[in-house]
């Protein structure tokens, strides 16, 4: 079922590695990526119980460099990146003048005048273009360096035990959302304690990406005694869904403000100076969101999926944004957007699954929170 690369699909430095290990490859955001290697549920459970290794080289790396890099990002993004300490990372967003989310981002401050903005693969071009436009008037240069990078994610409770012997970075001192340069198995990397799975874990940036296949093999071999499995995009999606993390294109779109996704905390209306989207976001902050995101747990086995209507006492009140069978809960789970003001504490909730109402319970997000 492996497809050869089509003329316009990009491949990561690990493409041959994935094909050789029998991965099911799919085109995702213009890249040929591993959907799963064998069983997506086994990969999911490996990340929860031990560790998983992901190729995220399709993600976009955009460098913002120059004396006014910090001011430029304070203007271009909703967060206050000038307050980010060197060696730290932060979750933030870039919005339109109307406040619509163009992408959610992880931004690293590598030096006083040097930031790395990590964008979703499908949005990298949009984000790079918007940053370039917004950098006008600032002494800062924007460079899309995606093609130079490979990105691996090692996720799960065994990650530190697997990585520790292979790196010169003191992992016990590398806190969540911290990043530092170092080596892993002799390869120079930027090592970051971040992820998208709800587990402890690391993201490993390699530039250039040519050393990625050797590093991948080393990590797989070192991880095997700990129960590590290579994991594909299918497991990545169910892991982030259980952890209640939004996915751009599902929970976040250009039609929604951060407030509508319950993520108003990333908008720093009190930062000094203007920023793109400020007026629209200030208005939305005072008027309140148009919708709220809720968790749904299915009582049956049919899965509420993206786009399916959510019913309260038979009346449509919203739409599923993401849904999947949860390997951890053993039940279908979903995130849904329901109209603001919907009474969630009473009423019978259901999802219209292809014409048949399936009973669901409304729960707080996330569905899963790690214990340690």
Partner 1 sequence: MSVPAELGYTKEHEWVAINEGIATVGITAFAAEALGDIVYVEPPEVGSTVTAGESCGEIESHKSVSELYSPVDGEVVDVNQAAVDDPELIGSDPYGRGWLFKVELAEEPADLLTPEQYTQLTEGEG
Q: Of 26 and 160, which CB lies nearer to partner 1 in the complex structure?
A: 26
Apex 297 CA angle, 294 and 299, nearest 5:
145
According to CB under 8 A, which one of 40, 61, 144, 203 is a site residue for partner 1? 40
Q: Does 234 bind partner 1 (CB under 8 A)?
A: yes
Q: Of 223, 222, 221, 247, nearest to 234 (Cα)?
A: 247
The set of residues, in sequence order, having a beta carbon less than 8 Å from that of 1 and lying 6+ positions away, is: 24, 25
Tell me the C-alpha distance between 165 and 185, whole Å.
Answer: 9
Contact between 337 and 351 (Cβ < 8 Å): no
Apex 174 CA angle, 52 and 169, nearest 5:
85
Q: Of 181 and 301, which CB lies nearer to partner 1 in the complex structure?
A: 301
According to CB under 8 A, which one of 324, 334, 336, 338 is a site residue for partner 1? 324
Q: Rounded to the nearest whole angstrom, what is the least distance from the CB of residue 104 to partner 1 in the complex? A: 22
Concatenating the DSSP letter of every residue in 193-234 gives: ---SSSS-EEEEEESSGGGHHHHHHHHHHHHGGGTEEE--HH
Contact between 36 and 43 (Cβ < 8 Å): yes
Q: Where are the alpha helices (DSSP H) in the chain?
A: 15-20, 40-49, 69-76, 124-134, 159-163, 212-223, 233-242, 278-287
Q: Of 189 and 335, which CB lies nearer to partner 1 in the complex structure?
A: 335
Piece of 54-62, 83-91, 160-168, 300-308 that binds partner 1 (CB under 8 A) = 300-308
Q: Does 48 bind partner 1 (CB under 8 A)?
A: no
According to CB under 8 A, which one of 11, 21, 39, 218 is a site residue for partner 1? 39
Q: Rounded to the nearest whole angstrom, what is the least distance from the CB of residue 252 to partner 1 in the complex? A: 20
Tell me the C-alpha distance between 294 and 84, whole Å.
Answer: 30
Q: Rounded to the nearest whole angstrom, what is the least distance from the CB of residue 3 to partner 1 in the complex? A: 9
Phi, psi of 110 (to 5 degrees): -90, -30
**Per the annotation, does 203 bind a ligand?**
yes
Apex 13 CA angle, 8 and 14, nearest 5:
105
Phi, psi of 72 (to 5 degrees): -60, -45
Q: Does 35 bind partner 1 (CB under 8 A)?
A: yes
Size of the site for partner 1 (CB under 8 A): 16
Dihedral angle sign, alpha carbons of residues 190, 91, 41, 34: negative
Q: Rounded to the nearest whole angstrom, what is the least distance from the CB of residue 40 to partner 1 in the complex? A: 5
| Binding-site string for partner 1 from residue 118 to residue 157, where x marks contact by CB under 8 A and - marks none | ----------------------------------------
According to CB under 8 A, which one of 50, 303, 311, 317 is a site residue for partner 1? 303
Q: Of 228 and 239, which CB lies nearer to partner 1 in the complex structure?
A: 239
Binders of partner 1 among residues 326 to 365 (CB under 8 A) are 354
Determine how β-strand 309-312 pairs with β-strand 315-326: antiparallel
Q: Of 325 and 347, which CB lies nearer to partner 1 in the complex structure?
A: 325
- Return the structure tokens found at 25: 């490859």
Q: Of 69 and 231, which CB lies nearer to partner 1 in the complex structure?
A: 231
| Binding-site string for partner 1 from residue 95 to residue 124, where x marks contact by CB under 8 A and - marks none | ------------------------------
According to CB under 8 A, which one of 12, 24, 92, 146 is a site residue for partner 1? 24
Which residue, chain included where needed, has tokens 């200030």?
A: 282
CA atoms within 13 A on the CB side of 330: 0
According to CB under 8 A, which one of 325, 344, 347, 352 is a site residue for partner 1? 325
Q: Does 242 bind partner 1 (CB under 8 A)?
A: no
Piece of 104-112, 201-209, 295-303, 334-342 that binds partner 1 (CB under 8 A) = 295-303
Identify any residues that bridge with 341 across adjacent strands, giving them in sequence order.
none
Q: Of 2 and 224, which CB lies nearer to partner 1 in the complex structure?
A: 2
Q: Does 238 bind partner 1 (CB under 8 A)?
A: yes
Known binding positions for substrate: 203
The residues binding partner 1 (CB under 8 A) are 1, 24, 35-36, 39-41, 234, 238, 301-303, 305, 324-325, 354
Residues in the annotated binding site: 203
């Amino acid at each position: 079922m492996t497809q050869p690369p089509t003329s316009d699909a990009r491949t990561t430095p690990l493409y041959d590695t994935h094909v050789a290990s029998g991965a099911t490859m799919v085109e995702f955001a213009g890249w040929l990526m591993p959907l799963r290697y064998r069983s997506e549920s086994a990969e999911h459970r490996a990340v929860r119980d031990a560790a998983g290794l992901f190729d995220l080289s399709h993600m976009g790396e955009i460098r913002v460099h120059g004396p006014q890099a910090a001011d430029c990002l304070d203007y271009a993004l909703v967060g206050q990146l000038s307050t980010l300490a060197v060696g730290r990372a932060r979750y933030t967003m870039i919005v339109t003048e109307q406040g619509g989310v163009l992408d959610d981002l992880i931004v690293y401050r590598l030096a006083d005048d040097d930031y790395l903005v990590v964008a979703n693969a499908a949005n990298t071009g949009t984000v790079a273009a918007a940053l370039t436009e917004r950098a006008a008037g600032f002494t800062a240069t924007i460079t899309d360096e995606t093609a130079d990078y490979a990105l691996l994610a090692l996720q799960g409770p065994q990650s530190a035990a697997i990585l520790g012997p292979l790196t010169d970075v003191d992992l016990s001192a590398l806190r969540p959302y911290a990043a530092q340069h170092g080596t892993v198995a002799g390869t120079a990397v930027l090592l970051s304690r971040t992820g998208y799975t709800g587990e402890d874990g690391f993201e490993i940036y390699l530039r250039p990406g040519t050393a990625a296949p050797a590093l991948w093999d080393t990590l797989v071999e070192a991880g095997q005694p700990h129960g590590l499995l290579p994991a594909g995009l299918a497991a990545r999606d169910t892991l982030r869904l259980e952890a209640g993390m939004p996915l751009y294109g599902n929970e976040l779109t250009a039609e929604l403000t951060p407030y509508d996704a319950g993520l108003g905390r990333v908008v720093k209306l009190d930062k000094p100076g203007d920023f793109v989207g400020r007026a629209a976001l200030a208005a939305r902050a005072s008027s309140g969101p148009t919708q709220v995101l809720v968790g749904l747990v299915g009582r049956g086995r049919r899965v509420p999926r993206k786009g399916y209507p959510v019913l309260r006492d038979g009346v449509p009140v919203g739409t599923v944004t993401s849904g999947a069978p949860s390997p951890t809960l053993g039940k279908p789970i979903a995130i849904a957007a329901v109209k603001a003001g919907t009474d969630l504490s009473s009423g019978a909730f259901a999802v219209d699954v292809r014409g048949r109402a399936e009973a669901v319970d409304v729960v707080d997000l996330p569905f899963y929170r790690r214990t340690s």
